[in-house]
Amino acid sequence: MAAEIKLLVAAPSAKNWPLALAGGFLLVLTAAVGFALQALSSNAAVLTAAAGVALVALPILSAANTSYLVTSARVTAVSGILGKTEVSVPLDTVRELRLKRSPVQRALGLGDLEVVGSGGSVTLAGIEEPEAARERILGLAA
């Protein structure tokens, strides 16, 4: 059996982060303004600020701990902050490739590519140039 050759190594793009950063910043700002205007108690302000920090940190930590690998034999996604989950689809079982793009993803040049095999599926979420990745995988799976 021939050794697998790495053909594509990717991760969720950092372009996904601005929305999480904006949402988290808005919550932290709300907490600060509410506390300054005495509209929120100090406990509520701290909880709101903590929620804002979590809203910023979790997507970034998740993306930083996710990787995608396309080899000559399979498509694999590894993710997880504390525990690691690995999902893999052999290329010879690929039945369908689904490209999903929200309006924001289209504007940023991103997309989610779902590789569906006969025994399961792998989603490459938030990758740059998803059409090129789809064409590359289609060429390998043929």
Domain harbouring 124, CATH code: 2.30.29
Domain that holds residue 49: 16-62
**Per-residue model confidence (pLDDT) at position 117:** 93
pLDDT means per 10 residues in the chain (142 residues)?
70 74 72 68 74 76 87 91 92 94 90 93 92 90 76
Specify whether 50 is located in the same domain as 103. Answer: no
Q: What is the pLDDT of residues 110-122, one digit of tens each?
A: 999 999 999 899 9
**Per-residue model confidence (pLDDT) at position 121:** 95
Q: What type of residue is 75? A: V
Is 93 exposed, middle or buried (CB count within 10 Å of its CB: 0-12, 13-18, 19+)? middle
Residue 119, in any domain of the structure: yes
Specify whether 100 is located in the same domain as 73. Answer: yes
Token pair 């903590």 is at which residue? Answer: 50
Specify whether 56 is located in the same domain as 80. Answer: no
Specify whether 119 is located in the same domain as 91. Answer: yes
Specify whether 45 is located in the same domain as 78. Answer: no
- DSSP per position, 28-72: HHHHHHHHHTTSS-HHHHHHHHHHHHHHHHHHHHHHHT-EEEEES
Query: What is d(CA 57, CA 76) in angstroms, rounded to the nearest whole number?
Result: 25
**Per-residue model confidence (pLDDT) at position 76:** 94
SS3 state of residue 41: coil
**Per-residue model confidence (pLDDT) at position 27:** 72
Domain count across the chain: 2
Specify whether 73 is located in the same domain as 130. Answer: yes
Specify whether 45 is located in the same domain as 74. Answer: no
**Which residues sit opposite 87 in a β-bridge?**
77
SS3 state of residue 54: helix
Residue 43, in any domain of the structure: yes
Specify whether 34 is located in the same domain as 77. Answer: no
Residue 1, in any domain of the structure: no
pTM check: above 0.85: no
Specify whether 74 is located in the same domain as 108. Answer: yes
Query: What is d(CA 87, CA 108) in angstroms, rounded to the nearest whole number?
Result: 26
**Per-residue model confidence (pLDDT) at position 3:** 67
Specify whether 110 is located in the same domain as 52. Answer: no
Pair 113, 106: CB distance under 8 Å: no
**Per-residue model confidence (pLDDT) at position 130:** 92
**Per-residue model confidence (pLDDT) at position 59:** 76
Specify whether 90 is located in the same domain as 137. Answer: yes
Cα dist from 75 to 7, 113, 126, 137, whole Å: 10, 11, 16, 8
Specify whether 30 is located in the same domain as 76. Answer: no
